[in-house]
Structure 1
């Protein structure tokens, strides 16, 4: 039996896609995107690669029933369809709410005044000011009576949300974990504010009305993730927000 010579990628792939896949950066970028990572202009080299190879890679990922999205703000991420061949995981209600509040903070004048740096304390204060405390505490304990223990648990859960959003490329910790800067990809939580209205006002309305929180029907895996949300492996699969 005669074996045929191995074909080069360019023999059966479009040349622009073959070049993209052959690039030494591709394996790392592909792994990051599949893990749910958002690639913003802060990741200059990766961002430039995706910008140059976008058309070819968009067709590549569509074969997996996944879209390579370039958001209006310029960051890239994978958005799976219901038939996706790449696994997905879901963020919890608290993760979603923290993301919405971070987007609100990103739009604030304080971001410029603070050179883009916020503290965890400032985030907790914004959460308390913008969202109903009872609702927040019930995300930690459905039977919460507002005890100091429940409030401490909420603080711990918010820190966990920050760690998850950091792994998704939405923020960067500074000098430990008490301070962080926000990346443009936090606008993944701001799709609702892309209107002619003042974006900060729209985001505030969504948070205060509870519309910033995803309903159970939109989070079919939320309970499973909530039970394991302190695991280091939560973002091993693609993000679906």
Structure 2
């Protein structure tokens, strides 16, 4: 791996080469100020809009890609409305970026980690991985349900969120939530080779084209929002 830098106590950035940036994610309880951490990551992703980087790879630094601690979250990590806006900005930056994105997942993938993973173009899951979109937070805090619908459809998205159900790697592969298993060593390398030779303008156009949601299949956002408001 090339140059590395710790931009916050929650994130570590490494440049494999001129075109590829790896962003390592710590457990959220590692962050002294969660909202500040999200703001720092927003700044990094925005800065990468300019320059040569064409592939961003998110990965977990520890056993889990991103796992929450229930007691810690309840007592110390309530995110303010401004913090929620930062989360929305973070996911929007990933969604609209002129570079490809991959999430390499291990262990628990929940809360903000699940949002980042499904917003990425590809999700590579290890055999120990499990997705959960509403394990330790309210329904109103589950972000980008529209993106989840794009990947697996309205009914499955609704079922996962409302029942707070965990999805393991084999099911995730079957329903389209995961793109590949971690034992496919050539997957990221193949993306990297393609990205290296692509223009950033072309990457941006391509990503927008394949992510356009079906107009009649995004009602899950309204439904989940209504249920959250009623609770």
TM-score, with normalisation over the residues of structure 1?
0.26
Taking structure 2 as the reference length, the TM-score comes to 0.27
Higher helix share: 1
Higher relative contact order (CA 8 A, sep 6+): 1
Structure ranking higher in strand proportion: 2
